[in-house]
Amino acid sequence: MKVLRPIKATDFAALRTIAEESGPGFTSLPVDDEKLQSKITRSEDSFKKPVDCPTDEGYLFVLEDFETKTILGTTAIEAAVGMDTPLYHYYKSKSVHHSKTLNVYNTVEVLTMCNDYTGATEICTLFLRPDFRKGLAGRFLSRSRFLFMADHQSRFSDTVIAEMRGVNDENGHSPFWEWLQDHFFSIDFPVADHLVGLGNKVFIAELMPKHPIYVNLLSEEAQSVIGHVHEKTKPALKLLEKEGFEHRGYVDLFDAGPTVECRMQNIRSIKESKEYPIVIGEARGEVTFAISNQKLADFRATYTKQAIFDESKQELVVTPQVAEALELKNGDSVRFFEL
């Protein structure tokens, strides 16, 4: 059985391994011991902190094999982005150049740097280790965050976003960044990517072009990747699109990957989730349920067929094994949806 839980200090080695395996472009997990340790500490503090509205909290989770205690992956939620360190995006819009006298009408796409998502909640840092990418593990790791958000809605913004990894090759070369580098920078994409992962974003404001960029002036290679995701990110994007997330023109400054958004109340997993008490007993069903114990610092979630929803009795029957993994007793309330 696989269980999602808040990260703790003893998970440092596993988190570092995940950071190494995630590769270039995964800015939220830099291979830097001090930064990774600070992420763990910040997460532990966030889960303990009383919160009425979202500020600077960051919730980091790990997916663990309940029997072997092996860490299989990680995922996270940033409560309100851009409040401390600015969050930059490019917004892709259209500009019309029209001359009635000359009978000329041209429409061109324009990229404008902005901070429009300041204060939004961000779901991020989704990574499942290669050896465990089978079955429903990836889908659960993505959707399980919504169980936690549904249980603790006051901790999050009404607007939820996800920055999707853009196109770059196995060596970390980004066609979009290479155009920016040629005209405005003198550092490679992996270096810029690493600096952002460390929280060093001052150079963005200092060196990024201050005026809108006409897309048709970019190289063909740079134009072709705007709003597109890395090959390995396509499954994650499809999952979010099924949840109701949409791309509305915002892209990453460095690799031009899309940022997608959805109102919290419109997220499918939140809308379809149910809250009922459990009964511990025999339960071998046909449906796989994602189930959370609705707790905060002791949050646990899993996915299993060892559960049956009895609508007539308004209860979820789970096996003793599921109850143990979720640290529940008879009559405790859970939140769940069909995975």
Residue 259: strand pairing partners? 163
For the stretch 44-51, contacts whose Cβ atoms lie closer than 8 Å and that sit 24 or more positions apart, written own/partner, are 44/6, 44/7, 44/8, 44/9, 46/79, 47/6, 47/296, 47/297, 47/299, 48/297, 51/79, 51/154, 51/155
Give CA–CA dist 163/159, Å, rounded. Answer: 13
Q: Is 230 a catalytic residue?
A: yes
Residue listed under structure tokens 């696989």:
2
CA angle 297, 298, 302 (to 5 degrees): 125
Give CA–CA dist 40/9, Å, rounded. Answer: 6
Instruction: Give the active site residue among 89, 152, 228, 230.
Output: 230
Instruction: Give me the torsion for CA of 141, 194, 80, 92, rounded to 10°.
Output: -100
Residue listed under structure tokens 């205690």:
69
144 neighbors 75 (Cβ within 8 angstroms)? yes
186: left (phi over 0), alpha (psi -120 to 50) or beta: alpha
Question: What letter represents residue 191's amino acid?
Answer: V
Give CA–CA dist 114/241, Å, rounded. Answer: 24
At a CB cut-off of 8 Å and minimum separation 6, what does 322 contact?
1, 283, 291, 302, 304, 306, 307
Active site residues: 230
